[in-house]
């Protein structure tokens, strides 16, 4: 029962976006730094009990036992209005001292609610009275203010408490109107929310060698530091929805305004339209203008690959360290041409022959054929030999002398493009770089040329070490690519094949990836339909065929899937980023190994969804977890409950 009670409290007190009736906002004190509002004890009991039943927990009636236990601890035996909001607020304080916490409990019967304190004479309204409490967090004082009993850990916050309510915009009141739980985070709480992470992120961005990157990185950090307040709402109905906003002082804080302008650049509603429907395990969609926010996207990618990430995510071993610069460079190069990305991961029915998964990505561009041509060009550059560079025809593909001059171009994207191409050429480019370094250079040219040379030398050294252990699994994977243009046609569309080769001959590695993606795990298929470029991975080409058909015929595909119906009901219509994943789907693959009950997988899987949207002065976050998904997660973590 203890774990059941903990689960209910955790679900109903999760931070997120909460809908709020005006009465929920009205009970938050005007000078609160933070607050949690429960719509009503009645709704908590009704919805909590139903949720536990839907999750098939052993003791669904445990919710009814929580409230009496809590009230008894507070010395309250009755007289509570169970249909009015309850609020726990911390009054504004620079250090967020716990002694400034106030609990406001709605009164239905004044005498009954005070009876448990055993006063010889009940206090008058507005009279602060000391009380005896047992325990570290037991109240030490109370006061009656209107229809609320207010409890504090000391008399200090009760003296400061007024009947003035927190101001909220009409938009926020509407956005969080249906919340069962409302959380408020004021300006003073944000340094505690961030901890030291923004400081470490600022330090990381400040050490970027390019001035443009330093500028954009600092804009982002300073913009996030300008967060004013946030409302977080939780709604329990057919699942759990967490909705949140983060409001910035964009009018007075230039950094916040600039940050939001970058994030919003070219954005329109994201969607997973065109991706195949059926057997989707995960999906992602992003809508923006890479030519306008590409530098920030590059910095995010840098952080993901090698920068400061919170906790255990720091320094993820995704690629070999020596490949970071070229991987980031190619990503930035291609992102400049992007207007959006849609990616889907699918479960193959014929696992034995085709592997577990297949994946499809759709890249939205202004010019699909030109985007594919750029992929072909970058791949060819990465495979040039020293002899190739001597050929006259190679100059049509790459001009190394021009690239070294471009290292000093006034345009960041041109400098970055030149750097990426030189890194891709690798060792054959070293003589050209040395010739440049022997000449008088600007500081920018010298910095970039020396950096490229060092990175190429480091990659070569790592490659030699890999040769010494051909049968061992390297600590970090390094991939090389070769492209074969238009090797086949599907539904009248020409298909390029991009072949991947990794820096290992380890049989276990090849067996593992073949189990995941099938016998064609090392081949990516690329196709162009209009201004969309499709990239398909895995051995089940049916997903590629369906994507081509969806785009040619304007079909919504996954966007109209029943698995996303719950998310779409309350999702932000202006979202720019969305992510979806199926706990049922992934845990179903592990059901036998984890000895999970088959009843968890009796219904078609749904998708847990998360989205982000941007406005001129705020961002929106939305998380949707359907009941079936939640039940599967809970039963996997708490078997037998």
Query: Tens of pLDDT along 125-180?
Result: 999 999 987 766 789 999 999 999 999 999 999 999 988 999 999 999 999 989 99
Question: By CB neighbour count within 10 A (0-12 exposed, 13-18 middle, 19+ buried), where does 123 fall?
Answer: middle
Q: Which helix (H) or strand (E) holds 47?
A: helix 41-54
User: 203-235, pLDDT tens digit by residue?
Assistant: 989 988 888 888 999 999 999 999 999 999 999
**Low-confidence winner among 3-12, 82-91, 366-375 (lowest mean pLDDT):** 3-12
According to DSSP, residue 336 is labeled: T
Give the per-residue pLDDT at 367.
94
Q: How far apart are CA 350 and CA 354, in angstroms?
A: 6
At 58, give phi and psi (nearest 5°): -70, -30
Q: Which helix (H) or strand (E) holds 610?
A: strand 608-614
Hunting for tokens 């984890």 — which residue is that? Answer: 594
Query: What mean pLDDT comes out for the span 75-83?
Result: 93
**pLDDT above 70 for 526:** yes
Q: If pLDDT is split at 50, 70 and 90, which confidence band does 360 have?
A: very high
Task: Say whether 229 sits in a helix, a strand or coil.
Answer: strand
Rg (CA), the chain: 29
Give the per-residue pLDDT at 311.
55
Of 109-113, 198-202, 429-433, 461-465, the range with the highest mean pLDDT is: 109-113
Contact predicate 337/307, CB 8 Å: no
Q: What angle do CA 424, 213, 450 make, to 5 degrees?
A: 45
Q: How far apart are CA 71 and CA 77, in angstroms?
A: 7
**Residue 291 token pair:** 């030519």
**Residue 458 token pair:** 């480091």
Give the per-residue pLDDT at 6.
45
Q: How far apart are CA 540 and CA 468, in angstroms?
A: 36
Closest to 293 (Cα-Cα) out of 223, 228, 246, 191: 223
2-12 vs 41-54: helix crossing angle, rounded to 10: 120
Query: What mean pLDDT comes out for the span 308-331?
Result: 61
Task: Say whether 10 sits in a helix, a strand or coil.
Answer: helix
User: What is the torsion angle, in degrees rounded to the nearest 10, for the CA atoms of residue 371, residue 372, residue 374 and residue 378?
Assistant: 140
Closest to 152 (Cα-Cα) out of 236, 88, 220, 232: 88
- Paired strand residues for 365: 338
Q: How many CB atoms lie within 10 A of CB 592?
A: 9
Q: If pLDDT is split at 50, 70 and 90, which confidence band does 8 have?
A: very low
Q: How far apart are CA 44 and CA 269, in angstroms?
A: 34
Give the per-residue pLDDT at 7.
43
Hunting for tokens 């970027």 — which residue is that? Answer: 208
Q: How far apart are CA 564 and CA 284, in angstroms?
A: 13
**Residue 94 token pair:** 């620079």
Sign of CA dihedral 277, 281, 287, 289: negative
**Low-confidence winner among 123-137, 167-181, 537-551, 576-590 (lowest mean pLDDT):** 123-137
Contact predicate 5/62, CB 8 Å: yes
Q: If pLDDT is split at 50, 70 and 90, which confidence band does 2 have?
A: very low
Q: How far apart are CA 147 and CA 397, in angstroms?
A: 78
Q: What angle do CA 586, 588, 593 make, to 5 degrees?
A: 105
Task: Say whether 238 sits in a helix, a strand or coil.
Answer: coil
Q: How far apart are CA 379 and CA 100, in angstroms?
A: 61
Give the per-residue pLDDT at 291.
76
Query: What mean pLDDT comes out for the span 425-430?
Result: 89
**Low-confidence winner among 132-141, 404-413, 464-473 (lowest mean pLDDT):** 464-473
Distances (CA, A) of 613 to 169, 170, 234: 18, 19, 18
Give the per-residue pLDDT at 61.
80
Question: By CB neighbour count within 10 A (0-12 exposed, 13-18 middle, 19+ buried), where does 364 fall?
Answer: buried
Q: What angle do CA 378, 540, 371 make, to 5 degrees?
A: 25
Strand residues in 387-542 grouped as ranges (E): 479-490, 493-502, 523-529, 532-537
**Which has the higher per-residue pLDDT, 572 or 298?**
572
Helices (H) and strands (E) counted in the chain, each on its own, are 26, 19
Closest to 200 (Cα-Cα) out of 351, 69, 313: 313
**Which has the higher per-residue pLDDT, 603 or 584?**
584
Contact predicate 185/230, CB 8 Å: yes
What mean pLDDT is reported for the chain? 86
**Residue 401 token pair:** 């002398």
Task: Say whether 223 sits in a helix, a strand or coil.
Answer: helix
Distances (CA, A) of 432 to 399, 401, 409, 616: 11, 7, 18, 47
Q: How far apart are CA 533 and CA 527, in angstroms?
A: 6
- Paired strand residues for 610: 579, 623
Give the per-residue pLDDT at 608.
96
**Which has the higher per-residue pLDDT, 478 or 481?**
481
Q: How far apart are CA 348 and CA 237, in angstroms?
A: 32
Q: How far apart are CA 60 and CA 154, in angstroms?
A: 36
**pLDDT above 60 for 449:** yes
Task: Say whether 581 sits in a helix, a strand or coil.
Answer: strand
Sign of CA dihedral 76, 81, 82, 85: negative
3-state helix, strand, coil in the chain (%, to 5): 45, 25, 30
Q: How many CB atoms lie within 10 A of CB 307?
A: 18
**Low-confidence winner among 184-198, 256-270, 323-337, 609-623 (lowest mean pLDDT):** 323-337
């Amino acid at each position: 029962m203890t774990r059941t009670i903990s689960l209910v409290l955790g679900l109903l007190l999760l931070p997120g976006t909460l809908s709020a009736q005006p009465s929920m906002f009205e009970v938050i004190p005007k000078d609160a730094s933070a607050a949690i509002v429960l719509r009503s004890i009645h709704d908590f009991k009704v919805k909590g009990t139903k949720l536990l039943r839907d999750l098939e927990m052993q003791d669904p009636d445990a919710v009814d036992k929580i409230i009496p236990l809590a009230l008894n601890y507070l010395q309250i035996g009755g007289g509570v209005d169970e249909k009015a909001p309850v609020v726990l607020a911390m009054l504004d304080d620079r250090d967020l001292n716990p002694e400034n916490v106030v609990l406001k409990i709605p009164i239905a019967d004044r005498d009954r609610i005070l009876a448990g304190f055993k006063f010889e004479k009940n206090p008058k309204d507005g009279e602060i009275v000391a009380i005896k409490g047992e325990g570290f967090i037991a109240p030490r004082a109370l006061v009656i203010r209107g229809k609320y009993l207010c409890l504090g850990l000391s008399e200090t916050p009760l003296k400061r408490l007024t009947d003035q309510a927190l101001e909220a915009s009409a938009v926020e009141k509407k956005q969080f109107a249906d919340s069962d739980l409302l959380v408020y985070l004021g300006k003073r709480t944000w340094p505690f929310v961030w901890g030291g992470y923004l400081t470490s992120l600022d330090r990381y961005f400040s050490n970027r060698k390019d001035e443009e990157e330093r500028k954009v990185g600092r804009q982002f950090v300073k913009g996030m530091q300008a967060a004013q307040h946030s409302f977080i709402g939780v709604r329990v109905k057919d699942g759990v929805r967490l909705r949140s906003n983060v409001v910035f002082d964009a009018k007075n804080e230039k950094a916040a305004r600039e940050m939001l302008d970058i994030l919003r650049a070219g954005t329109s509603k994201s969607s997973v339209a065109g991706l195949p429907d059926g057997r989707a395990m995960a999906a992602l969609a992003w809508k923006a203008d890479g030519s306008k926010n590409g530098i920030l996207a590059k910095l995010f990618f840098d952080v993901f690959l090698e920068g400061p990430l919170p906790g255990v995510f720091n320094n993820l071993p995704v690629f070999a360290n020596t490949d970071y610069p070229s991987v980031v460079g190619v990503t930035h190069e291609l992102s400049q041409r992007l207007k959006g990305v849609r990616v889907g991961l699918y479960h193959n029915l014929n696992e034995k022959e085709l592997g577990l998964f297949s994946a499809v990505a759709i890249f939205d561009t202004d010019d699909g054929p030109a985007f594919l041509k750029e992929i072909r060009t970058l791949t060819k550059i990465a495979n040039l030999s020293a002899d190739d560079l001597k050929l006259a025809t190679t100059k049509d593909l790459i001009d190394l002398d021009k690239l070294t001059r471009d290292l000093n171009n006034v345009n960041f994207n041109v400098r970055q493009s030149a750097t990426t191409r030189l890194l891709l050429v690798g060792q054959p480019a070293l003589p050209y770089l040395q010739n440049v370094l022997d000449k008088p250079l600007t500081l920018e040219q010298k910095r970039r040329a020396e950096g490229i040379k060092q990175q190429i030398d480091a990659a070569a050294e790592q490659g030699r070490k890999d040769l010494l252990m051909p049968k061992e699994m390297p600590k970090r994977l390094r991939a090389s690519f070769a492209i074969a243009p238009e090797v086949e046609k599907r539904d009248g569309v020409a298909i390029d094949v991009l072949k991947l080769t990794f820096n290992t001959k380890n049989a276990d590695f090849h067996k593992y990836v073949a189990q995941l993606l099938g016998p064609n795990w090392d081949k990516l298929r690329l196709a162009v339909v209009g201004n969309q470029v499709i990239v398909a991975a895995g051995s089940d080409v049916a997903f590629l065929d369906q994507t081509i058909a969806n785009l040619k015929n304007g079909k919504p595909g996954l966007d109209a899937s029943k698995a996303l119906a719950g998310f779409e009901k309350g999702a932000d219509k202006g979202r720019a980023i969305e992510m979806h994943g199926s706990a049922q789907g992934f845990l179903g693959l592990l059901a036998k190994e984890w000895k999970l009950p088959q009843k968890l997988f009796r219904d078609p899987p749904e998708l847990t969804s998360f989205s982000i949207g941007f406005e001129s002065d705020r961002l929106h976050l939305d998380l949707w977890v359907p009941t079936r998904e939640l039940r599967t997660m809970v039963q996997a973590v708490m078997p037998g409950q």
